[in-house]
Structure formats: structure tokens, C-alpha cells
Amino acid sequence: MLVVTRLRAPGPHPESGEADGEELRRGLLQALGILAAKPGYVGGDVGRNVDDPTLWVLTTRWQNVGSYRRALGSYEGKMHIQPLMVHALDEPSAYEVVEEGTDLNEPQPRSLG
């Protein structure tokens, strides 16, 4: 499975004057390191949009959706990754990888419950 999470960086930090997105960048790189250590992780990247430098992306690949959800629900996920999600755009982020000869899920939204 593929997870694409887009995030919008806040403006410059008022106290430190730190550049736009530097704190988010560090947080995303730390998040990627945490996720990379979890079972089921296949790969991932952090990126910054070339046309809008306030827009960032965290992409990860997983063996299955359960591995991804367990990684986010881990202690490290709750402490270090979930706080970053305040900057995430409100949109679906989990995707099935389309491969030749495989069946895809039904084209309908899934319940969270």
C-alpha cells in the first residue's frame, strides 16, 4: 500500500525567526526514521513542492494497511508523528498500489469503525 500525506508548513516561527518549514522538515525526517523501523515498512520519502515551498509530502510504502496503522498507533507514532498531522491537508492518504493482474478493493469509501 502507498500512503501520501501532504502537509502545509506554518509561517516563520515568531520567537526564533526560523525559516518557513524548517521545523516541519525536521519533524518529517524524524517521522520517516521512526516509520522505517516498523514492521511492514517498505520505503518512503519526504518531499517539498517545487512550485509552492510551503507544501510538503511524506510518502511511505507498506506491505499492508495493518502494518501502516500499527506503526501510526505505536508509542513513537503517537508521540512524534501524530502531532505533525495538525499540518496535514484534510484528504484521504492511503492508496492501493495498482499492479497488473491484481484485484482492487470495491470502489466505495471504507468505514473507520
pLDDT the model gives residue 113: 46
Percentage, residues of the chain above pLDDT 90? 72
Indicate whether 32 pLDDT > 50. yes
In this prediction, residues 9-34 reach a mean pLDDT of 80
In this prediction, residues 106-110 reach a mean pLDDT of 64
Question: In terms of pTM, does the model score above 0.75?
Answer: yes
Give the whole-angstrom CA distance, residue 101 versus residue 96: 14
pLDDT the model gives residue 102: 74
Round the average pLDDT of the chain to a whole number and report it: 88
Three-state secondary-structure class, residue 8: strand
Closest CA to 28 of 53, 15, 47: 47
Give domain 2-9+19-95's CATH architecture: 2-Layer Sandwich (3.30)
